[in-house]
Chain A
Amino acid sequence: EPEVTQTPSHQVTQMGQEVILRCVPISNHLYFYWYRQILGQKVEFLVSFYNNEISEKSEIFDDQFSVERPDGSNFTLKIRSTKLEDSAMYFCASSDAVEYNEQFFGPGTRLTVL
């Protein structure tokens, strides 16, 4: 069964460093999403991406964040200069031809900023 994969599963970084979180969505999906979940808190929407551009983004997704689909398979989230408060689980998801249709989630990347 096709699935969304994410790498790495756990990333530890120093404050101020850049990190890139990687996702491989399901191959025939067209819409891609990033979410984050700070430990013990609710899931929060970051950004949706379609046709090589951002469709929607939340207030959290400021200039420190960027997304890219560098090739036909990967979808990345970059945080330019990490802060302590960026520590969270980051989930990638994808859906097929209808935006916000049933989404398939990856297993998440736990980001720890020291």
Chain B
Amino acid sequence: KNEVEQSPQNLTAQEGEFITINCSYSVGISALHWLQQHPGGGIVSLFMLSSGKKKHGRLIATINIQEKHSSLHITASHPRDSAVYICAVKGNQFYFGTGTSLTVIP
């Protein structure tokens, strides 16, 4: 049973494209995190959300609590954005999605 589902699993985009990664969850949560995992394995926290929308540079994250859904958008994608993007939620414990592998081609 997957408490967190992400789509798509894999995504290839041309540089400059607008990208959306989706996350749906099935448990009650107090917060949702978007993480970036680099090809070398390191993990970086991008956003923590409990409601609404957050923006940081070219990254935008939104959450709809009623629909149990969040999206991560990347505007003007760049090859350095190539990574695995992971959605994680804090329910009665911390649950992770399987990640979306993004490749941005120059």
Contacts and interface: CB of A to CB of B under 8 A. Distances in A.
Interface in A48-64: 48, 56-58
A42 B97 contact: yes
Given A43-B86, A100-B30, A101-B48, A108 B96 contact: no
Nearest to B44: A105
A24 interface: no
B41 A44 contact: no
A10 B78 CA distance: 32
B70 to A, nearest CB: 15
A43 B48 contact: no
Report which residue of B48, B86, B94 has the largest number of chain A beta carbons within 10 angstroms of its beta carbon: B94
B31 interface: yes
Interface in B50-106: 86, 88, 90, 92-99
A42 B48 contact: no
A100 B31 CA distance: 8
B104 to A, nearest CB: 22
A33 B94 CA distance: 10
Contacts, number: 53
A107 B41 CA distance: 7
A57 B48 CA distance: 21
A91 interface: yes
B42 A43 contact: no
A45 interface: yes
Contact of B43 (A48, A91, A102): A91
Interface string A82-104: 00000001010100000011111
Interface of B: 30-31, 33, 35, 37, 41-45, 48, 86, 88, 90, 92-99
Given A42-B86, A89-B41, A105-B35, 4 more contacts: A45-B94, A100-B94, A102-B48, A104-B45
5 contacts: A91-B43, A93-B43, A100-B48, A101-B48, A105-B43
